[in-house]
Amino acid sequence: MKRFNQVLCCVAAIALLSGATAEDEENHPCNRECIEGETMTCHYDFEIGWYQSMSKACYDCPFNADDCNRKDCIPADGISRPLNVVNRKMPGPAITVCQGDRVIVDVDNELMTEGSSVHWHGMHQVGTPYMDGTPWVTQCPISPLSTFRYNFTASNPGTHFWHSHSGLQRTDGMAGAFIVRKTRSREPNGFYDYDKSEHVMLVTDWLHETTVAKYTDHHHSTGDNKPPALLVNGVGRFKLFGNDTDEPFYMKTAQFDVEKGYSYRFRLINAEFMNCPIEMTIDGHNFTLIASDGHDLEPIIATSLVSYAGERFDFVITADKEVDNYWIKFRGLMDCDDRFTKAKQVVVLHYEGAPDEEPAGNPTWEESHRDGLQLNALNKGEEDMATISIPEMHSLHAWDESMKEVPDHQFYITYDFYGKNNSEYHKAPYYGFNQMTDTDNKMFTPQLNHISMQNPKTPLLISKPLSSSGFCNADTVDEEYCEKEFCKCPHVLSVKLGSVVELVIIDEGNTYDANHPFHLHGYAFRVVGMRRLGSSTSAEEVKAYDAAGLLKRNLIDAPLKDTVTIPDGGYTVVRFKADNPGYWLFHCHIEFHVEVGMGLVFKVGENWDMPPTPPGFPTCGDYKPEN
Ligand SMILES: *[C@@H]1O[C@H](CO)[C@@H](O)[C@H](O)[C@H]1NC(C)=O
Ligand SMILES: *[C@@H]1O[C@H](CO)[C@@H](O)[C@H](O)[C@H]1NC(C)=O
Ligand SMILES: *[C@@H]1O[C@H](CO)[C@@H](O)[C@H](O)[C@H]1NC(C)=O
Ligand SMILES: *[C@@H]1O[C@H](CO)[C@@H](O)[C@H](O)[C@H]1NC(C)=O
Ligand SMILES: [Cu+2]
């Protein structure tokens, strides 16, 4: 305790002396080499505001490349558009701390009209569920012009990120890296030479308009939902600049410096928001995967990696090739593939001593693929022999009870896109689903067990409803009715504190070949199985498959993750021990889908098991007096 106090005092002093602020993230006193038993308190100020890429702060960017690095200049891919960002940065300020540090973030919402919230994606918030940043579940949205102080312990080591959990804000720029390091001696895969905070890649798909414009056009008219571009660390190539006299050129991409003869830990954060899984390869190099979602894996050498919205991957690049500049290539799949936008991006792997320039040429979408071992491939599970899916990887974390033979609760969560009269987008008899002759006007509703999530008026963790009568799930709704008609209600699954929960998540795959990545708040789960059964499937088929003993579960060393994809026409089975009491959101991490209700809440334990919200915790709700 004494030691802790000492460290605290000194941090404050350092911060004062060096004037370190959130704007100066590389120099933040908490971004340091981690020492066993030494924790710090780490303060950050987040100011959320509307802003613009290629603003006047950018002066002559990209014609004068130095101007692109000016304070408050967000170059993006050279296209000017409205943004919703923290501290006029995109990605937002990186938080880099050591395991056990206390993180204090004052979030000042300076948006004109919208509420906000910040979710610490990958933090389990044990003991502080009300700091999870999920509006309507764990807190009220932070109203415009007010400040909310997040205060929690960074207990989950690894590569994580923070992002707005309100509306479409993440999509408009509100996300940043959240790296929790552990001491080197505790890294089971600590065989690399360097783990530098500059070797973080935050990858996202990107629009050239506000997301709400894309959203309303897609949901209320014939607009598509396909992102045209990708960005890595907020910048990238898209538009050609220049004039008749000079060679046209692109915005300068992100660059990662390495030195020949050394190996480096890279941290990839997939912060995308549309259905655009991202395939990554490195010219001339393979890489060694060592962790995902903050959990260590038996190393795997591979050539390409596919990641889905909300996932993180840590891998080692060994700089053992000729001194040169190499492309690291990213290309979008599914809604970003060659049928649609061919969204792609590049960054430079720069060896010290190589010329200070980008490799020649501009790789096409087709050229952004390399044959070789692929990890986490799109719509492929254990049945695919050429790739390695998540449950085929091996966790380095000891066996735990969640992998016991028979779980205490088992839930089938089945989903697809359904052609229904979703009253928000298809008002029968005026413009009902089947009344639309132009298929682009048909809005299929993605639902879990035929239910769209209805957010409560007051966050569950604040109202702590005494009875479950206000909740709905597959057991309470009229199944036959909801299969055909649109059902929307507060979808809550209750589980006993300390029980082992198994989720069999099924993508029926009848509409489109789309896949969905699912994220669970408050926990990491073991991914014990994943398989594609065909172009489509059903809960009945998977149940029969399981009853016949064909549904294989890795109950030995299944990887721990908090976000996982489900192959279209297949299933993913996950397990977790429900030992963290609270209300926890489980949802598709594609922004357009969660926004229309593709989520549900786990109620873990009874209300009295849940840590009470601190005194003065803000509340919200209706004001509708009886008379
Ligand atoms: C953060 O929370 C801890 C535990 O409740 C409390 O002791 C501490 O004073 C809080 N820190 C700040 C800066 O609010
Ligand atoms: C063309 O662009 C270059 C900068 O790339 C600038 O120096 C030059 O003056 C421009 N020429 C014309 C004709 O605008
Ligand atoms: C990468 O791994 C593949 C096998 O997946 C192998 O054929 C190839 O030679 C390796 N490339 C490099 C550059 O090590
Ligand atoms: C929606 O409502 C319209 C008008 O009542 C009806 O014709 C139609 O069959 C309903 N269902 C769908 C899927 O459109
Ligand atoms: Cu989805």
**pLDDT confidence band for 119 (50 / 70 / 90):** very high
CA of 240 to the centre of ligand 2 (A): 14
CA of 490 to the centre of ligand 1 (A): 32
Complete edge-to-edge strand list for the sheet that includes strand 175-181? 95-98, 175-181, 158-164, 118-121
Is the pLDDT at 4 greater than 80? The verdict is no
Which residue has the CA at smallest separation from atom 11 of ligand 3?
A: 286
**Coil, strand or helix at 387:** strand
Is the pLDDT at 287 greater than 70? The verdict is yes
What is the average pLDDT score of the chain? 95
Ligand 2, CB cutoff 6 Å, lining residues: 63, 243, 245-246
pLDDT for the residue 13: 38
Element (H, E) at 463: helix 460-463
pLDDT for the residue 23: 53
CA of 392 to the centre of ligand 3 (A): 20
| DSSP 8-state symbol, 58 | G
| DSSP 8-state symbol, 141 | P
Tokens found for residue 31: 């971004």
Name, in order, each residue with C-beta under 8 angstroms of 462's C-beta and a sequence gap of 6 or more: 130, 139, 140, 613, 617, 619
The pTM assigned to this predicted structure is 0.95
Is the pLDDT at 11 greater than 70? The verdict is no
Cα 492 to chain centroid distance, Å, stands at: 22
Beta bridge partners of 151: 104
CB of 216 shorter than 6 A to ligand 1: no
Q: pLDDT tens digits for 301-330?
A: 999 999 999 999 999 999 999 999 999 999
Tell me how far apart the alpha carbons of residues 410 and 438 are, in angstroms, rounded to a whole number: 41
Cα 201 to chain centroid distance, Å, stands at: 13
Q: Exposed (0-12), middle (13-18) or buried (19+): which is 572, by Cβ within 10 Å?
A: buried
Decide if 21 contacts 39 (C-beta within 8 A): no
Q: Tell me how far CA of residue 200 lies from CA of 31, 96, 466, in angstroms.
A: 13, 11, 44
**Coil, strand or helix at 533:** coil
| Residue from 11, 39, 102 whose mutation best tests the ligand 1 pocket (most atoms within 8 A of CB) | 102
**pLDDT confidence band for 24 (50 / 70 / 90):** low
**Ligand that lies nearest to the alpha carbon of residue 63, given by its number in the listed order:** 2
Q: Torsion angle, CA of 374/376/377/379, rounded to 10 degrees?
A: 160
| Residue from 433, 437, 445, 481 whose mutation best tests the ligand 4 pocket (most atoms within 8 A of CB) | 433
Which residue has the CA at smallest separation from atom 8 of ligand 1?
A: 151
Q: What is the mean pLDDT of residues 123-144?
A: 98
Which residue has the CA at smallest separation from atom 10 of ligand 3?
A: 286
Pairing of strands 255-258, 344-351: parallel
Q: pLDDT tens digits for 209-227?
A: 999 999 999 999 999 999 9
CA of 398 to the centre of ligand 5 (A): 31
CB of 12 shorter than 6 A to ligand 1: no
CB of 432 shorter than 6 A to ligand 4: yes
pLDDT for the residue 21: 44
pLDDT for the residue 14: 41
What percent of the chain has a predicted confidence (pLDDT) above 70? 96
**Ligand that lies nearest to the alpha carbon of residue 429, given by its number in the listed order:** 4
pLDDT for the residue 515: 94
Residue 241 alpha carbon, nearest atom of ligand 2: 5
pLDDT for the residue 9: 38
Tell me how far apart the alpha carbons of residues 600 and 613 are, in angstroms, rounded to a whole number: 22
Tell me how far apart the alpha carbons of residues 592 and 347 are, in angstroms, rounded to a whole number: 28
Tell me how far apart the alpha carbons of residues 26 and 48 are, in angstroms, rounded to a whole number: 20
Tokens found for residue 515: 């896949």
CB of 285 shorter than 6 A to ligand 3: yes
**Ligand that lies nearest to the alpha carbon of residue 128, given by its number in the listed order:** 1
CA of 149 to the centre of ligand 1 (A): 10
Q: pLDDT tens digits for 520-574?
A: 999 999 999 999 999 999 999 999 999 999 999 999 999 999 999 999 999 999 9
Which residue has the CA at smallest separation from atom 9 of ligand 4?
A: 434
CA of 482 to the centre of ligand 4 (A): 14
Decide if 58 contacts 65 (C-beta within 8 A): no
Which one has a higher pLDDT value, 21 or 343? Answer: 343
CA of 590 to the centre of ligand 5 (A): 5
Tell me how far apart the alpha carbons of residues 156 and 128 are, in angstroms, rounded to a whole number: 13
**pLDDT confidence band for 245 (50 / 70 / 90):** confident
Q: Tell me how far CA of residue 320 lies from CA of 116, 264, 286, 323, 618, in angstroms.
A: 45, 11, 11, 8, 54
Tell me how far apart the alpha carbons of residues 90 and 254 are, in angstroms, rounded to a whole number: 13
Is the pLDDT at 2 greater than 80? The verdict is no
Tokens found for residue 316: 């080692």
**Ligand that lies nearest to the alpha carbon of residue 386, given by its number in the listed order:** 3
| Residue from 418, 422, 434 whose mutation best tests the ligand 4 pocket (most atoms within 8 A of CB) | 434
| Residue from 61, 245, 249 whose mutation best tests the ligand 2 pocket (most atoms within 8 A of CB) | 245
**Ligand that lies nearest to the alpha carbon of residue 60, given by its number in the listed order:** 2
**pLDDT confidence band for 247 (50 / 70 / 90):** confident
* Phi, psi (degrees; rounded to nearest 5) at 102: -90, 130
Name, in order, each residue with C-beta under 8 angstroms of 623's C-beta and a sequence gap of 6 or more: none
Which residue has the CA at smallest separation from atom 3 of ligand 2?
A: 246
Q: Exposed (0-12), middle (13-18) or buried (19+): which is 268, by Cβ within 10 Å?
A: buried
Complete edge-to-edge strand list for the sheet that includes strand 255-258? 255-258, 344-351, 325-332, 278-282, 304-307, 374-375, 387-388
Q: pLDDT tens digits for 434-489?
A: 999 999 999 999 999 999 999 999 999 999 998 888 999 999 999 999 999 999 99
CA of 104 to the centre of ligand 5 (A): 32
**Ligand that lies nearest to the alpha carbon of residue 419, given by its number in the listed order:** 4
